[in-house]
Structure 1
Amino acid sequence: MKQFITAAVFTYPHEIAILKHILQDAGLQFYFENETMLTVVPMYAHALGGIKLKVHPNDLDTVNRILTAFDKDNNLKIV
């Protein structure tokens, strides 16, 4: 996991709920850094730098396409 890079940063756990399922369905390698901590103590969001979507470099282009499509072509928006 050391080679994983940050593709996006979110402030609150509810922002990643649907995105997590979309990424899993696509079969991508990813994880959300700080997800558990910010679920327990949401006020630490800014101190920890938010919830970071970490992806394998080989999957970065696909993840960026998914994020763009999710943000523009869907009634469910990333806040």
Structure 2
Amino acid sequence: MTFITVAIFHLPQDAYIIKARLESEGIPVFLKDEYSVQTENFLSNAIGGVKLQVDENDALAATEILKAQGVELPGDSDKNHKGGLKKDQKVIAIVGLVLISILFLILYLNGSLDF
């Protein structure tokens, strides 16, 4: 049995719903990195989330069920995205950096920080 990833979730509880749906259709499911993310949620992005995997023979049927449920499949969001941060993410990052810089400048000029 060779398992392949058909969907990725940031949180295990999101994957459990789809897992139950696929298993109700007779498709065995394995959740890779489920316990790692469940134990330390902040690791989800670092390890690539919880990977919902099915046997390669069941991949087509599973993909059809996932599409019917409205689950975003790996590669769907990448078709129009060339990599890196999206525009709104860049703006948030720049604003955050500016605010942090201003905070440190105020603390330094106040004498609260000594370098």
TM-score normalised by length of structure 1: 0.81
Aligned to 2:49: 50
Higher gyration radius (CA) = 2
State the aligned residue count: 71
- Please list every run of at least 4 consecutive aligned residues from structure 1 whose deviation after the TM superposition is greater than 6 angstroms: none
Instruction: Note the C-alpha offset of 1:10.
Output: 0.9
Report Cα offsets for 1:7-48 as digits up to 9, x if no partner: 111111221121121111111122010111111110000111
Write the letter of the residue equivalent to 2:36. M
CA distance in 2, matches of 1:6, 1:17: 15
Q: CA RMSD in A?
A: 1.5
Aligned to 2:11: 12
CA distance in 1, matches of 2:40, 2:52: 18
Aligned to 2:67: 68
Write the letter of the residue equivalent to 2:49. G
CA distance in 2, matches of 1:21, 1:52: 15
Q: Which has the higher contact order (CA 8 A, sep 6+)?
A: 1
